[in-house]
């Protein structure tokens, strides 16, 4: 059997069957979580995020680690003995890991290219606005994390959003800010401060990459991803109010930012009318009764996701790679069957 059989057919099997199957399992879990009326729409955000991303990331991590493990040890006991009468000269698992890596990288390029930054401006208007923002940030203890992290742009199509995967910064459109009072601007910055604290640009990027590498399963998860993102924005509204933002000025700023032309993923406004109504209604309720945390929020999504990823990478080295051998022999048998 030619050496390219398993790398090519195995990768196709992963994309066409394995990843969609995991997406279906994740969808079942997401449906149950979203139907939990006790916790409300903002309940279980971290667990929902782990399901959305883990359904693609964890099986890919295991398969890549298993392929590299077999290539490193020079063994694929079941498959190579069956097809080549020896396990010593079997390079197919290494080629499979390489082809799978290339497929993942190719599907990720489009997502990464869409994440383009916004150019800062140094005009007189931008400098004056930056001084105004600095004054607001320094006078509000809830905005401490935004010191030296606010950038002004004269791009008239840009309102307010957070960029930067490792060290996020808040970008503020001068045209948008000119129509806001200081209280509205402070409340809007409070919303963005929650994105900065939680590294949401990185969080959103990982989610989009996880959907991109699963082209045949993403249609199962995209509605849940959209609902998660809407709930995440509402969560940031709530946290901003808890940290001192005024709910009514924040609602006004959200409506202004939601006007046509807003194009940022991690941003104040929302173009979905239903999401906008929910967020505004929630803030109007907060104006009458301030929100309060009733319970512990649970572990952050990043530590949980990191531990699960580490387990997926280490598991093939500890428990064996029998599942990869099944995939290997299945690809070989499929080619033999259709070649007849």
Split at pLDDT 50, 70, 90, the class of 38 is: low
Is the predicted pLDDT of residue 1 greater than 50, yes or no? no
Owner of token pair 């590294």:
199
Measured CA to CA, the distance from residue 257 to residue 207 in angstroms comes to 24
For residue range 215-265, list pLDDT tens digits in order: 888 999 999 999 999 999 999 999 999 999 999 999 999 998 876 554 555
* Tokens linked to 340: 């007849």
| Average pLDDT value for the chain | 83
pLDDT single digits (tens) 197-229: 999 999 999 999 999 999 888 999 999 999 999
272: confidence class by pLDDT, cuts 50, 70, 90 = confident
Task: Identify the weakest region by mean pLDDT among 56-65, 83-92, 301-310, 316-325.
Answer: 83-92
**pLDDT band at 10, cuts 50/70/90?**
confident
Give the residue carrying structure tokens 């033999």: 336
- Per-residue pLDDT tens digits for 328-340: 676 665 655 555 5
* Average confidence (pLDDT) over 295-305: 63
Of 83 and 256, the structure prediction assigns the larger pLDDT to 256
- 315 pLDDT band, cuts 50/70/90, is confident
Looking up tokens 């077999």 gives 70
Average pLDDT for 76-80:
53
pLDDT beyond 90 at 9 = no
Nearest-angstrom CA–CA distance, 32 and 224 = 12
What's the first-to-final CA gap in the chain, in angstroms?
A: 13
Q: Would you say 91 and 71 are in contact if contact means Cβ atoms under 8 Å apart?
A: yes
Token readout for 236 is 């940031």
Average pLDDT over residues 50-73: 87
Give CA–CA dist 113/105, Å, rounded: 12
Long-range pairs, 292-299, Cβ under 8 A, ≥24: 292/242, 293/242, 297/46, 298/46, 298/47, 299/46
Percent with pLDDT over 90 in the chain: 48
Model pLDDT, residue 146: 94
Highest mean pLDDT among 93-102, 179-188, 282-291: 179-188
Give the lowest-confidence range in 6-20, 53-67, 87-101, 281-295: 87-101
Cα gap 87→321, rounded to integer Å: 14
Confidence of residue 268 (pLDDT cuts 50, 70, 90): low
Residue 114: predicted pLDDT: 80
pLDDT, residue 320, reads: 67
With b meaning 16 or more CB within 10 Å and e meaning fewer, what string describes 266-303? bbbbbeeeebbebbbebbeebeeeeeeeeeeeeeebbe
Task: Tally the residues of the chain.
Answer: 340
Supply the pLDDT for residue 55.
94
- Residue range 88-116, pLDDT digits in tens: 446 677 788 889 999 999 999 888 888 77
Q: Give yes or no for residue 275 having a pLDDT over 80.
A: yes
pLDDT at 213: 94
């Amino acid at each position: 059997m030619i050496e390219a059989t398993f790398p090519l057919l195995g990768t196709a099997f992963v994309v066409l069957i394995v990843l969609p199957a995991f997406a279906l399992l994740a969808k079942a879990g997401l449906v149950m979580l979203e139907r939990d009326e006790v916790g409300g729409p903002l309940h279980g955000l971290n667990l929902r995020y782990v399901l959305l991303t883990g359904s693609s990331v964890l099986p890919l991590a295991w398969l890549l680690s298993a392929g590299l493990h077999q290539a490193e040890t020079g063994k694929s006991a079941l498959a190579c003995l069956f097809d080549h009468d020896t396990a010593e000269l079997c390079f197919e698992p290494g080629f499979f890991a390489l082809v799978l890596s290339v497929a993942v990288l190719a599907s990720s390029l489009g997502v990464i290219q869409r994440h383009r930054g916004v150019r800062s401006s140094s005009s007189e208007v931008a400098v004056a606005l930056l001084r105004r923002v600095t004054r607001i940030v320094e006078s509000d203890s809830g905005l401490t994390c935004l010191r030296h992290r606010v950038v002004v742009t004269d791009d008239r199509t840009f309102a307010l959003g957070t960029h930067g995967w490792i060290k996020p910064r808040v970008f503020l459109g001068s045209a948008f800010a000119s129509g806001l009072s200081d209280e509205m601007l402070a409340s809007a910055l409070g919303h963005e401060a929650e994105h900065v604290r939680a590294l949401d640009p990185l969080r959103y990027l990982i989610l989009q990459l996880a959907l991109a590498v699963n082209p045949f399963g993403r249609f199962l998860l995209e509605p849940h991803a959209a609902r998660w993102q809407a709930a995440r924005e509402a969560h940031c509204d709530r946290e901003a109010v808890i940290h001192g933002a005024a709910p009514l000025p924040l609602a006004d700023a959200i409506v202004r930012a939601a006007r046509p032309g807003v194009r940022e993923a991690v941003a104040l406004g929302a173009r979905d009318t239903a999401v906008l109504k929910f967020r505004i209604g929630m803030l109007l309720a907060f104006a009458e009764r301030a929100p309060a945390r009733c319970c512990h929020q649970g572990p952050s999504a990043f530590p949980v996701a990191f531990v699960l990823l580490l387990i997926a990478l280490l598991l093939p080295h500890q428990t064996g790679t029998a599942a990869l051998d099944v995939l290997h022999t299945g690809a070989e048998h499929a080619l033999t069957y259709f070649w007849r």
